[in-house]
Amino acid sequence: MNIYKQILEKKGHILALAPMEGVTDTVFRQVLCEIGKPDLFFTEFLNVEGFCSKGREKVVHRLDFRNIEKPVVVQLWGNVPEYYAETIEYVKTLNSDGIDINMGCSVRDVLSSGRGSALINDKVLAKEIIDVVKESAGDLPVSVKTRIGFDKIETEEWIGFLLEQGLDMITVHGRLSKEGYATPSRWNEIAKCVKLRNDISPKTVILGNGDVKDIGQAKEYSDKYSVDGVMIGRAILTNPWLFSGKKPEEISKEERVTTLLHHLGIFEKEKGNMDIFNSQKKYIKAYISNFDGAVELRTRLMELNTADEVREELLQFVS
Ligand SMILES: Cc1cc2nc3c(=O)[nH]c(=O)nc-3n(C[C@H](O)[C@H](O)[C@H](O)COP(=O)(O)O)c2cc1C
């Protein structure tokens, strides 16, 4: 039984953390394992062309994870089927729980080369990629994360097509490729995907995605729209404790400070490279919030340049 069915059998629905490049890396996921772990993690996405180039060393870290994070699904993107096959030979050495193909990304650079959600407009290539991934994946379940259309809603055609490919799971973000975050995710269309699934491919698990704020809303949406599970993205930076069910106001400032210190510790252990310390500022903002004096402390922390300086400031703050 694949991991998605196992979670469903145990819990009735799946709560997943969305893949977010530059956010949901192994460091943050390891912290989340301690303060509120979802049923399922995804890695940041890895470009298969990048992996199969001389630049492999620069990109391969996107698939890093530790055993405590499991179950973890590896996410890949690209438009060259053979490169998927080559990348998956490496993926199979990692002990991950599944392979997800990104057919939803709408970032300009990704789209311009016909990858990510541009594949919605190229079913022939999309099918070729899915076939190669399924062939290469061995026992690992294969899934796709996508949207409801490119520049117009085409739920029946596109999701219907994906369902015919015998995928183990499809995650549907209820927006079009051309839309930013201003228009709401269309959960009615996501509900339509569930109906299509019931007709075309009953074995395929459907996750809904878009604008879910907390696990209460995720459970409400699971019931209301009949999805097997919900994937939550941006809300994790508003409340890293989200998957524990705790509200931001329930987390003390001491716990917030301790968690940031812990995050920095893991960051140094995993990356050991303070040149990229700026990349950690989004987490400072996420942890240091919702208490009296948070804004002032955060402002001071944002001006610092190294993890040691941040550590000193935090220790002073709680002493
Ligand atoms: C900073 C950022 C990075 C993202 N990176 C990825 C990615 O690597 N792969 C992917 O499939 N989606 C990516 N997404 C999209 C999210 O997974 C998710 O589909 C989207 O944010 C909608 O969910 P939300 O409203 O819960 O945030 C990213 C989104 C953000 C904000």
Residue-wise pLDDT tens digits, 160-178: 999 999 999 999 999 999 9
pLDDT at 279 over 90: no
274 has a pLDDT exceeding 70? no
Pocket of ligand 1 (CB under 6 A): 18-23, 44-45, 75, 102, 104-105, 145, 173, 209-212, 232-235
Instruction: Verify that 77 and 196 share a domain, yes or no.
Output: yes
What domain range is 294 assigned to?
251-318
Judgement on whether residues 177 and 228 belong to the same structural domain of the protein? yes
| Closest to 287 in 3D by CA, of 254, 244, 243, 311 | 254
- pLDDT at position 170 is 98
Q: For residue 273, what pLDDT is reported?
A: 64
Residues 230 and 264 in one domain: no
| Average pLDDT in the chain | 95
Which contacts of 308-314 are long-range, i.e. CB under 8 A and separated by 24 or more positions?
A: 310/260, 310/264, 310/284, 311/261, 311/264, 314/257, 314/260, 314/261
**Same domain, residue pair 264 and 208:** no
Instruction: State residue 278's pLDDT score.
Output: 80
Instruction: Report how many domains make up the chain.
Output: 2
Q: Do 135 and 25 share a structural domain?
A: yes
**Is 234 among the annotated ligand-binding positions?**
yes
Per-residue pLDDT, averaged over 81-89, amounts to: 98
**pLDDT tens digits for range 131-158:** 999 999 999 999 999 999 999 999 999 9
Residue nearest to atom 5 of ligand 1 (CA): 20
201 and 286 part of one domain: no
Q: Assess whether 20 and 162 both reside in one domain.
A: yes
- Tens digits of residue pLDDT in 183-234: 999 999 999 999 999 999 999 999 999 999 999 999 999 999 999 999 999 9
Same domain, 41 and 135: yes
- pLDDT value of position 275: 57
Which of 33, 52, 105, 193 is the catalytic position? 105
Domain closes at, from 213, 242, 271 = 242
| pLDDT score at 68 | 98
Helix (H) or strand (E) holding 144: strand 142-149
Same domain, 76 and 107: yes
Q: Is 61 annotated as a binding residue?
A: no
Q: Which distant-in-sequence residues (6+ apart) come within 8 Å of 263 by Cβ?
A: 27, 28, 31, 280, 283, 287
Is a pLDDT exceeding 80 seen at residue 114? yes
Which ligand 1 atom is at minimum distance from the Cα of 175?
A: 22
Report phi then psi at 175, rounded to 5.
Answer: -130, 170
Q: Tell me: do 168 and 222 sit in the same domain.
A: yes
Q: Are residues 119 and 199 in the same domain?
A: yes
Whole-number Å distance, alpha carbon 215 to ligand 1 midpoint, is 17
Q: Which pLDDT band, with edges at 50, 70 and 90, does 111 fall under?
A: confident
CATH number at residue 138: 3.20.20.70
pLDDT value for 250? 96
**Quick one: 210 and 268 in the same domain?**
no
Is 52 part of the annotated catalytic residue set? no
Among candidate residues 191, 215, 242, the one where a domain is terminated: 242
Distance CA 278, CA 5 (A): 39
- Residue ending a domain, among 242, 260, 278, is 242
Q: What is the pLDDT of residue 305?
A: 84
